[in-house]
Structure 1
Amino acid sequence: MKFSFKFTNLMGTIYRNGNLAFSPDGNSVISPVGNRITVYDLKNNKSRTLSVESRYNYTNIALSPDGSLLIAVNERGEAQLISMISCTVIHSHKFKSGVQCIVFSPDGAYFAVAQGNVVLIFCAPGEITGEYNPFVLKRHFIGGYDDVTWLDWSPDSSLLAIGCRDSSTKICAVKFFKNFRTTSLSGHTDAIVACFFEANSLHLNTVSRNGQLCLWECSLAPSDLTEKTRNENAEPQRKKKPPTTAAGSGNESEDDVDNVIEKTDTLAVPDDENEIKDESVRKAHPFFYKKLARHYLANEPRKEHRDALLTAANYNPRTKVMVVAFSTGAFYLYELPDVNMIHSLSISDYPISTALFNSTGDWLALASREIGQLLVWEWQSEQYIMKQQGHSSEMTCIAYSSDGQYIATGGEDSKVKLWNTQSSFCFVTFSEHTSGVTDVQFSRNKKFLVSSSLDGTVRAFDITRYRNFRTFTSPTPAQFASVALDYSGELVVAGGQDVYEIFLWSVKTGKLLEVISGHEGPVSSLAFSPSAISSTLVSGSWDKTVKIWNCLESNSEHESIDALADVTSVAFNPNGEEVAVATLSGNIIIFDVKSATQVNTIEGRYDLGSGRLETDIITAKKNAEANYFSTIEYSADGECLLAAGKSPNICIYHVREAILLKKFEITKNQSLDGLNEFISRKHMSDFGNMALIEQREELEGGKVAVRLPGVRKGDMSARRFQPEVRVFCVRFSPTGQAFAAAGTEGLCIYALDKGVVFDPFDLSLEVTPKATHEALNNREYTKALIMSLKLNDPNLIALVLERIPYKDIELICADLSNDFAHRLLQNLARMLQSSPHIEFYLQWCCCLLTSHGNRDSAFQNPALLALHESISRKYEMLNKICDFNKYTLRVLLDTARERENSNQTNGDKTAMDESDSDSEMLLIRTQDEGSLKLQFSDENEDDSDEDDVSENEDAN
């Protein structure tokens, strides 16, 4: 087994905080998810998470007009310049404080950053500006007396509109113009939420938090602004220049930018110069704004909710449509400048955090931070392009389907969700549970799944029809902590958390078959034997015992094993001969199922590692002594063990050698608690740790930043605190190519690195790529194929396979040994995912399985499951295309028949209009044609009847 697993995707979490960004073509939306960034491809229905990771949660992102650069800023003011082509961080920059918003100019030459009440203009690196030094400061402005809330560029990238919390809007120029003066617009009575320029003009629309919309008309057009050369004698108030570097390139360091921010009071234009008092001054300064109208947009939501506030707004100048979203979860579409309401819709009861139109104005993206929801809506057809929502609270359990195509997740929000591993989208949500879901399990035939919950029920969900078809309950109310299905999928068991018993039901009838007693503590974990000929059940409990049951016999016949500590998790080896037990002491014990003897012990307490919470009064080293693994899972081949617990680390152990092979850290997000081993001295005072002191905020209603004592998973009070980092569940994919970890950040997927890795098999000196090509040219296909399999180069294997004639496939498959046949099947499963030669590779698979797939098969289960997964994906993809083509051909054939019938009818009418001299011949001909027509219509009726029968058969 290889261990080059790398982070590939983040599922289960759709949106956390911050603004959204559409790609230039409008087909993809970029969403900040914690300290990572996810790109949702709406056209191909896929999502991918960038490998870029920040130290804190992202709050603002901005995409360049050409889509090649992305600037992401976290909550501590750390900015990253990311290349969307290579998906790597080009440069990092640290601002003095947090950033409210960041926007690229339409021409891509500049980007503006709002920091407090200061706006900084930077030159964007690239070919447009000719500047390749990142974050080169060009200009800076004072926005207002309070923080800046919104920035918007004019269409020609010459002016910048700055909306502030003090209800004012300021118009500033990036360049120097003769007939321009900095203008401040007032007239709102609440904080500015957004302001937008009109297309090809300098007219402005401003929206405030209380729902007021003001329309402003500019006295000048963009073409009327004439640029002038900066003259320091003519502008004495701008004589001080920001400091530059020693090289004189204009690239400013971090300290220089901070000095500039502190001195901006002397560089700003005085406010009294913005006022136009008389006509003479107006002629000298012809640039001014006139308020055309004021509209109140909050009347509709305030009829039901008096305290409704406008939380987000966006405007598309091309379609002249504005969207305004409120704290009640409702949003409204208005057409400007008449302010006619086009549509209104409510998506939830929670505030909408951000709203954004794409470049064409057809799609509208809305996101809610409270519930982690992101949806893209096409307002013209009133259809959802994408509607995704993660678990509103922590994800507690996960399970892979038998072919690795689906992942089921359960959370404390009492929901069970199904995710597609190929598209990374959730395609169904089951909300029948009324309390937290503790465990989920797929059936082997992938037709249904079962879930246990603290509400006292175990529910079975049909994956085909998306419904809850069975509900299993106990005679007395009990909270279920674990669930398991046997190999056949006919028996389901659940262990009680408050009742120390195991309940056994029949899936077909839904009846309780047996109540298995014997444990003296909560049953923490259950596992059925993966063997088809065994019905062995292993249960682990907090009473420090592991019991082995035979569910087909009496419940009194069992074998008990003393684990010396509370059992937290049990897992069966895929061969069904061994079981791994994780205990509270931090050890993993391997037992033989048949003899009930201990085989091996893995001591992993100190491998897990531990951090120190902000409110902890003990050290991280002392914390590590109480660490334990809460979830374990065998790899697909049974050689390794995956383990995780109350830590950001995931460990992979070799079972036989009992050694740590590799350790993965799921996150570096400092916004979570429990990552640091030491508390910074700046947080320590004479009275102790500052985190233990309640910091009340006057403007936020008296909220405090300390959680309630004893709270670990979620604080349902009004207090705010940092979530504690931990891994709740880990599962290996049945194909062995990936594993999933459910943690505080979401569902992290780690897959084998598909890069260039030299990993040969049975290599010798004469086996080289050159020798392989020579054997291929000499038509020695078997020799060339074996050499390519020994080199284990995917490109070389694909080249050899596609050069082999179709008629020789069966003979070559019969000549391969079992080892090479198994390796070839693994490569075929991978090639089927991307190759267009589907029939060719399916012929290879059929011949391999026919030649080597006997009773003593050389193929391992992961290789067959990987092949099954690839074929299932191809079938789902081609099934829609084939159905579409089939129905299209039917429509074309029906249209052709109708046209043929209409042409014959027109021919009959033309023949009736001929001269009377040929009436006798006409009568004979029409009689003959009538009989032919009658015969043809009978044939058509027969054909239509046959079509109806075939359609009914297809429907059945």
Structure 2
Amino acid sequence: MKSSYRFANLCGTVYQQGNVVFSGDGNSLFSPVGNRLSVFHLVKNASTTLPFETRKPIARVAISPANENLALVADIDGRALLVNIKHRAVLAHMNFKLPLRDAQFSPDGKYLAVTHGAQIQVWRTPSMLVREFAPFVLHRTYVGHADDVLSITWAPSGLFFVSTSKDMTARLFSLDPIEGFKPHTLTGHRDAVLRAFFGDKDTIYTVSRDGACLTWKPKEDVQADGDVAVGFARWGVASRNYFMRANTQVVCTDFHAGTSRLVVGFSTGVFSLYDMPDFQEVHSLSISQEKITSVAINRSGEWLAFGAQHLGQLLVWEWASESYILKQQGHFYDMNTVAYAQDGQYAVTGGDDGKVKLWNTTSGFSTVTFSDHTAPVSAVEFAKQGTVLFSASLDGTVRAYDLVRYRNFRTFTSPNPVQFVSLAVEPSGEVVCAGSSDSFDIYMWSVQTGKLLEILSGHEAPVSALSFSPSGSGLLASTSWDRTVRLWEVFTRSGWTESMSLNAEGLAMSFRPDGLEICVASLDGMLVFFDAKSNEQTGVIDCRRDIAGGRKMDDKISRRNNAAGTAFTSVCYSADGSCILAGGNANYVCLYDVRERVLLKRWTLSLNLALDGTQDRLDSRHMTEAGNIGLINDLSDEDDLTLNERMDKSLPGVQRGDLSKRSTRPMARSKCVRFSPTGRSWAAASTSGLLIYSLDEDTLFDPTDLDIELTPQTVRAASLQGNGLVALVGALRLGEKELLAEVYERIKVSEIPLVVRQLPRTYIVSVLELIAARMAPASASPHLEFHLTWLSTMFSVFGTEIRLHSSTTYAPVLRSVQMALHELRGNVKRITDANTASMLYVWDSLPRAVEEI
């Protein structure tokens, strides 16, 4: 149980490169995050990252229109995975040998068209139900373009598709050979054609990089009938339109056939929405400081999704109301540190961009960003009591944030400017300490007054780590590059200190939750344990082999010799103090048993080959006379770069803009690891983002799945026999509304508490949706007290679970229940007012009626 943590989610990174895609219902958005795929549930206000990984960063994502659970995910080298999204499983692997610029499923989902250089390949879609030895079967290969194909768009019938290319043309192909049909070539653009769209059966739109949009229509009446008429028409340019933006290129575009609206993303971060075929601009907005890399429209045409690669932004814009549905951005540079709140529901991160971000670990979204620091954030800590957050930065300040009003209410500074690299908060939250890297001192402030209380001197090198004893005794521990660990009694007048020596520079430290033991990570790859009372060393764990990282692209030595310079830079005890988690400048996070001094488990953070340190051996075929080919700037694909990106703006003598300068690659490592206070999860601030590993399972086993044959007859029989729970679960699994309403209404009021207590948690959302639907006036159900009893029982039994996930999983259904209750209240009030008025009228009329009698 101690080592059974599994990957749960990825926070801190929302988009990196590739295309963003809406799900079939339009309520979810798929976004590539490095070599992983994240799913943002826009209605539930939650995000999840699928557990599989590709070899390199994802370049293309395609969702089958016929089966929303089937997706193709391809990396930048053309290696693809066929994925079942619902079951989070990989069905098949495929190597297309060349990078995929586009991949599209046919409307019926039976075929998959992919770009293959200047050719187009159409493959038969593998089955999700039958496991095959060779699931991908090539249907046909199409040729005709003189340069790389950029996009593929299927006709609504699925009999034809149109492709666009860098050769400034678009070509219309047929899926299968048709007698008398020849592929049509649409020419007229002066730059690479990015996309082509079918408006209706007699309209095609093409958009080029230079900002031209051409409308194509048949020149004469077509003799053929039906869907085949698209292929036999003689297409000609009906109108030419231009976006008229100087020094700007079109980067991405998408089209919604239902509303005939075209959205275009430009290299300046501006997008525009046009009504076609009149080419009238409906909406235009600047949403980013960098170019918009990808754009997508959902099924209804109301939401527009944008991805900006350089800033890592992901936006969903509702153009009708001019409001953001989603606006998320991760840290621009590396993530340096992470800390958990006391309830484990929130985590805070600090990065090299000087920002402090608060993340909801349940939803995966960033709730607030503090941008007060002007230099990289080196450490963050939560106060043990209250809602206060502290951060230390290299700008020489320690800041305190109020998480109720979301503001920086206190700033702590030193008498002389220094850089703070470590931070510790006293358990009561009254005192905060920070260690410097240049003056080698420890500064202590009062949180209430903001005044500097004391400066603790004694270290002779940068103070790399600080930690207060969790017992509240006022014992402060510090470690430094001077190879010592010091204990300070900060609340006594004597100012007692004790120094303990290390064999190497101290890098990180942590107190055991009971405050009786200290663990220190040193530069020689050791974990050293000290007794906090006797100040004696109690044990050592040699971790050099465990933390040994992979080969870097520019390494001249083997992995074994390279392991001598690796060490843990972050350590943390588990909630019960029996285990310790450690991470550092390597692609691994290790879990050790404190009592036995053994390695329990080692997790690999990333399999992304685009990062340094993920391979134990390097391929000698990639070595050239100029060095490793992976470190040489490849400008062969400079057509994808905008004019501003290709321009060398560097000053004379500056190496940053030199095109002959070797490029660098990020290294796979974890700068900080932290256990959740609940012990159910741990987080690692890594190169890929904030990785969260958890013990909680996403899917729950339902024992009632085996108790009934799922047919309407057996469900009705169980309901008539009085087995309300079995009948209700069976009806929920079948999903037939009439049968569900019949079983639901047949349950007796006295049996409701018993049924709800035995109801599996998997069906909470479904039952609440059923109650809300039956309460609506459209259902014409007269059982008002019956529905309210169901609601009251559900909230009393599952109240804690619903409250915990009220803003994520249960948000849509709670809104439905709230709307049903408001409508019910309005109807009851209307009837009550009408009855009151009738009774008053009768009462006023009664004396006159008596007199007449």
Equivalent residue number for residue 58 of structure 2: 58
The structure number with the bigger radius of gyration is 1
Which one of the candidate residues 617, 632, 638 is aligned to 2:577? 638
Seen in structure 2, the aligned counterparts of structure 1 residues 630 and 314 have a Cα distance that, compared at 3 Å, is same
Offset of 1:555 from its aligned partner?
7.5
Q: Which of the pair has the greater relative contact order for Cα pairs under 8 Å at 6+ separation?
A: 2
Quick check: 1:615–1:691 contact (8 Å CA) kept in 2?
A: no
Quick check: 2:525–2:542 contact (8 Å CA) kept in 1?
A: yes
Seen in structure 2, the aligned counterparts of structure 1 residues 623 and 226 have a Cα distance that, compared at 3 Å, is closer
Distance 2:820 2:30 in 1: 34
Offset of 1:641 from its aligned partner?
0.5
Matched, 1:295 2:238: no
Distance 2:365 2:506 in 1: 34
> 1:187-336, aligned counterparts within 5 Å?
187-199=188-200, 201-218=201-218, 219=220, 224=225, 287-297=233-243, 299=244, 302=245, 306-336=246-276
Equivalent residue number for residue 591 of structure 1: 530
Quick check: 1:27–1:43 contact (8 Å CA) kept in 2?
A: yes
Offset of 1:68 from its aligned partner?
2.7
Distance 1:682 1:688 in 2: 11
Matched, 1:552 2:553: no
Seen in structure 2, the aligned counterparts of structure 1 residues 8 and 329 have a Cα distance that, compared at 3 Å, is same
Distance 1:106 1:550 in 2: 71
Offset of 1:83 from its aligned partner?
1.8
SS at match of 1:621: helix
Per-residue CA deviations over 1:863-892 (Å, capped at 9, x if unaligned) read xxxx99996556999998799899878877
Per-residue CA deviations over 1:27-48 (Å, capped at 9, x if unaligned) read 1111111111111111211211
Q: Which amino acid aligns with 2:119?
A: V
Distance 1:467 1:898 in 2: 48
Matched, 1:431 2:371: yes
Distance 2:250 2:588 in 1: 42
Seen in structure 2, the aligned counterparts of structure 1 residues 891 and 614 have a Cα distance that, compared at 3 Å, is same
Distance 2:808 2:186 in 1: 57
Distance 2:290 2:225 in 1: 45
Equivalent residue number for residue 786 of structure 2: none
Matched, 1:47 2:47: yes
Seen in structure 2, the aligned counterparts of structure 1 residues 901 and 208 have a Cα distance that, compared at 3 Å, is farther
Q: Which amino acid aligns with 1:474?
A: S
Offset of 1:720 from its aligned partner?
3.7
Seen in structure 2, the aligned counterparts of structure 1 residues 222 and 454 have a Cα distance that, compared at 3 Å, is farther
Distance 2:82 2:531 in 1: 54
Equivalent residue number for residue 114 of structure 1: 115
> 1:637-716, aligned counterparts within 5 Å?
637-685=576-624, 699=638
Distance 2:555 2:537 in 1: 37
Equivalent residue number for residue 2 of structure 1: 2
- My pick for the range that moved more, 14-23 or 891-900, is 891-900
SS at match of 1:548: strand
Offset of 1:698 from its aligned partner?
9.4
**Identity between Structure 1 and Structure 2 (%):** 39
Q: Which amino acid aligns with 1:400?
A: Y
Seen in structure 2, the aligned counterparts of structure 1 residues 702 and 334 have a Cα distance that, compared at 3 Å, is closer
Offset of 1:71 from its aligned partner?
0.8
Equivalent residue number for residue 731 of structure 1: 674
Which one of the candidate residues 315, 324, 335 is aligned to 1:395? 335
Quick check: 1:830–1:870 contact (8 Å CA) kept in 2?
A: no
* Structure 1, unpaired ranges of 5+: 229-284, 705-710, 759-802, 810-827, 846-866, 923-956
Quick check: 1:103–1:112 contact (8 Å CA) kept in 2?
A: yes
Per-residue CA deviations over 1:490-538 (Å, capped at 9, x if unaligned) read 1111111222111111212222222222211111111111114x11111
Q: Which amino acid aligns with 2:378?
A: T
Quick check: 1:585–1:627 contact (8 Å CA) kept in 2?
A: yes
Offset of 1:88 from its aligned partner?
1.5
Equivalent residue number for residue 787 of structure 2: none
Seen in structure 2, the aligned counterparts of structure 1 residues 608 and 344 have a Cα distance that, compared at 3 Å, is same
Quick check: 1:403–1:868 contact (8 Å CA) kept in 2?
A: no
Q: Which amino acid aligns with 1:539?
A: S
> 1:171-190, aligned counterparts within 5 Å?
171-190=172-191
Distance 1:552 1:441 in 2: 21
Matched, 1:75 2:21: no
Equivalent residue number for residue 352 of structure 1: 292
Which one of the candidate residues 450, 453, 459 is aligned to 1:513? 453
Q: Which amino acid aligns with 2:336?
A: T
Offset of 1:656 from its aligned partner?
1.5
SS at match of 1:625: helix
Matched, 1:407 2:350: no
Which one of the candidate residues 468, 482, 494 is aligned to 2:422? 482
Seen in structure 2, the aligned counterparts of structure 1 residues 578 and 834 have a Cα distance that, compared at 3 Å, is farther
SS at match of 2:589: strand
> 1:76-91, aligned counterparts within 5 Å?
76-91=77-92
Distance 2:110 2:431 in 1: 65
Offset of 1:176 from its aligned partner?
2.5
SS at match of 2:621: helix
Quick check: 1:180–1:225 contact (8 Å CA) kept in 2?
A: no
* Structure 2, unpaired ranges of 5+: 649-654, 702-750, 769-789
Per-residue CA deviations over 1:241-297 (Å, capped at 9, x if unaligned) read xxxxxxxxxxxxxxxxxxxxxxxxxxxxxxxxxxxxxxxxxxxx9521021111111
Per-residue CA deviations over 1:144-187 (Å, capped at 9, x if unaligned) read 21111111011101111111112111111112233532111111
Q: Which amino acid aligns with 2:26?
A: G
- My pick for the range that moved more, 213-222 or 69-78, is 213-222
Quick check: 2:38–2:49 contact (8 Å CA) kept in 1?
A: yes
Q: Which amino acid aligns with 2:443?
A: F
SS at match of 1:725: coil
Distance 2:795 2:225 in 1: 68
Distance 2:765 2:387 in 1: 23
Seen in structure 2, the aligned counterparts of structure 1 residues 589 and 883 have a Cα distance that, compared at 3 Å, is farther
Seen in structure 2, the aligned counterparts of structure 1 residues 132 and 830 have a Cα distance that, compared at 3 Å, is closer
Distance 1:203 1:307 in 2: 29
Seen in structure 2, the aligned counterparts of structure 1 residues 641 and 117 have a Cα distance that, compared at 3 Å, is same
SS at match of 1:552: coil
Seen in structure 2, the aligned counterparts of structure 1 residues 902 and 344 have a Cα distance that, compared at 3 Å, is farther
Offset of 1:428 from its aligned partner?
1.2
Quick check: 1:214–1:294 contact (8 Å CA) kept in 2?
A: yes
Equivalent residue number for residue 161 of structure 1: 162
SS at match of 2:561: helix
Quick check: 2:353–2:375 contact (8 Å CA) kept in 1?
A: yes
SS at match of 1:198: strand
Offset of 1:227 from its aligned partner?
7.1
Per-residue CA deviations over 1:344-363 (Å, capped at 9, x if unaligned) read 11111111011111112121
Equivalent residue number for residue 752 of structure 1: 695
Distance 2:124 2:239 in 1: 36
Seen in structure 2, the aligned counterparts of structure 1 residues 365 and 689 have a Cα distance that, compared at 3 Å, is closer
Normalized against structure 1, the TM-score is what? 0.73
Distance 1:442 1:104 in 2: 48
Quick check: 2:44–2:808 contact (8 Å CA) kept in 1?
A: no
Distance 1:177 1:615 in 2: 55
Offset of 1:387 from its aligned partner?
1.4
Seen in structure 2, the aligned counterparts of structure 1 residues 151 and 520 have a Cα distance that, compared at 3 Å, is same
Seen in structure 2, the aligned counterparts of structure 1 residues 835 and 479 have a Cα distance that, compared at 3 Å, is farther
Distance 1:44 1:149 in 2: 34
Quick check: 1:202–1:221 contact (8 Å CA) kept in 2?
A: no
Distance 2:420 2:659 in 1: 22
Seen in structure 2, the aligned counterparts of structure 1 residues 885 and 502 have a Cα distance that, compared at 3 Å, is farther
SS at match of 1:624: helix
Seen in structure 2, the aligned counterparts of structure 1 residues 635 and 839 have a Cα distance that, compared at 3 Å, is farther
Distance 1:716 1:589 in 2: 47
Quick check: 1:177–1:225 contact (8 Å CA) kept in 2?
A: no
Offset of 1:25 from its aligned partner?
1.1
